[in-house]
Structure 1
Amino acid sequence: MKLVWSPDTALKAYIYTVKSCGNFKESGVPELLSAMAAGWNAKLIVESWSYGGSMATSIGLAVAAHHTCGRHVCIVMDERSRTEYIKSIQGAGMTKTEVIVGEAKEVMAGLAGVDFLVVDCKRRDFVRVLRFAKLSHEGAVLVRKNAFQSTLSGFRWHGVLEKGTHVVRSVFLPVGKGLDIVNVGSSDGGVASSKRSPSHWIRCIDQKSGEEHVFGVKFLVC
């Protein structure tokens, strides 16, 4: 079974995230990622978060998990981060997110079948999170958030993905502080498909510049 794009679910998650993240200034990142995760019907959504970071993307991913009846798991580096994250995410009304403390290799080993993964490039261990991720055999979408602020120069997806991984498409979007996205195909070489031929368009506004970005989400990473 391959990942199948559902525009209706994507739109519902997008709208709910817009309402839930009204007080945040994330330049469309939460809404876009929420729509993508929900649209692909992701069942295991994983993200990395560091102390002091914005909660908007986390809220968007939690919304997506709600619409797909999936799991939303957040990886943090220490107990201080865990306490702060739980306080913030629950304060936003999201009570089902799982929070795990630990080193990237150890934590990712216990999360098999990841089909949507978002890492924050501000975290020094984001490469290790990607490298040790156990991706779903049906395909996965991987996202580097805050890519413009990455302290690692010369990042290449082939340097972190397992040898033989089938990359369907990769794209870099000037949304927020940079989104670097890659779609990994299923283990049998298949690609994600869509129930409908028309694409669904997502409109994102950069809160700082006022610039508008419009993306055909169906074709964004498929």
Structure 2
Amino acid sequence: MKLVWCPETASKAYIDAVTALADRNLEEINVAELVSAMAGGWKAQLIVEAWARDAGAATGVGLRAAAKHGRGRHVCVVPGEQSAAEYVDAMRRAGAAVEAESVVVGEAEEVMRELEGVDLMVVDCRRRDAGRVLREARPGPRGMVVVCKGAGRRRGGAAVALGAGTRVVRSTYLPVGCGVEVLHVGVGNGPSLGGRGGRWIRHVDRDTKEEHVFRRR
């Protein structure tokens, strides 16, 4: 099995996010609309948001708007009770109701262990434990899309932070917001950006800015 892109649900999720975020005085709305389209397009069943304090509610609102298109579940992971209270308050002020079970509190290793089969994960790089969250992520049987927001101009950092043996088959950097790095984590055997043995050629599409990696035989 693998993740299959559906333009129709991506468009619907994007439109729903735009509607939900309209007339809201929130930051990073452009990033929220982007990740909403991704979640909808991949029909993500389990969407994990690793929220950072003071990050606002735009991303959460966008992901919740997208979750229904794949009949998925949106979960926010936070390191402590204070962060959880701040997240719930930010979401409510943005007009989004938050169920208690959709906010998971605890250390990165603990909370990610409970979330088996992640389809799409959005990690705020401002979190001190962002690397640990990435390493502990457990992809679903179709693979996983990882979005690192607030990446600045750093490229490739997320692939390095992922756990040993993780198969990263595609990576791209988008100059949206404060920088967004997107990775596609595959399942099974095959080439990886972090693989050894053999020569890999990196190519960046000038139009889409998407990064492709090819193995030279």
**1:5 counterpart SS class:** coil
Distance 1:143 1:14, change over 3 A: same
Distance 2:70 2:147 in 1: 19
**1:4 counterpart SS class:** coil
Distance 1:101 1:6, change over 3 A: same
Q: Answer yes or no: is the 8 Å Cα contact 1:59–1:94 preserved in 2.
A: no
Distance 1:76 1:165 in 2: 24
Distance 1:7 1:185 in 2: 20
Q: Which amino acid aligns with 2:185?
A: V
**1:168 counterpart SS class:** strand
Distance 1:146 1:157, change over 3 A: closer
**2:123 counterpart SS class:** strand
Instruction: Choose from 39, 44, 47 the match for 1:42.
Output: 44
Q: Which amino acid aligns with 2:8?
A: D
**Equivalent residue for 1:167?**
168
Q: Which amino acid aligns with 1:104?
A: A
- Give the unaligned 5+ runs of structure 2: 192-206, 213-217
Q: Deviations over 1:41-94 (max 9, x none)?
A: 100100111222211011111111122111111011211111121233244234
Number of residue pairs the alignment of both structures matches: 193
Q: Aligned runs of 1:20-59 on 2, under 5 Å? A: 20-22=20-22, 23=24, 24-26=26-28, 28-59=30-61
Deviation of 1:5 (Å)? 1.0
**2:76 counterpart SS class:** strand
Moved more, 39-48 or 87-96: 87-96
Q: Answer yes or no: is the 8 Å Cα contact 2:51–2:76 preserved in 1.
A: yes
Deviation of 1:186 (Å)? 2.6
**Equivalent residue for 2:198?**
none
**Equivalent residue for 1:125?**
129
Q: Which amino acid aligns with 1:113?
A: G
**2:181 counterpart SS class:** strand
Distance 2:164 2:59 in 1: 30
**Equivalent residue for 1:5?**
5
**Equivalent residue for 1:68?**
70
Deviation of 1:40 (Å)? 0.2
Deviation of 1:184 (Å)? 1.1
**Equivalent residue for 1:141?**
145
**2:152 counterpart SS class:** helix
Deviation of 1:188 (Å)? 5.2
Q: Answer yes or no: is the 8 Å Cα contact 1:140–1:185 preserved in 2.
A: yes
Distance 2:141 2:189 in 1: 8
**1:147 counterpart SS class:** coil
Q: Percent identity?
A: 47
Q: Answer yes or no: is the 8 Å Cα contact 1:137–1:187 preserved in 2.
A: no
Stretches of 4+ aligned residues off by more than 4 angstroms: none
Deviation of 1:189 (Å)? 4.7
Distance 2:97 2:38 in 1: 19
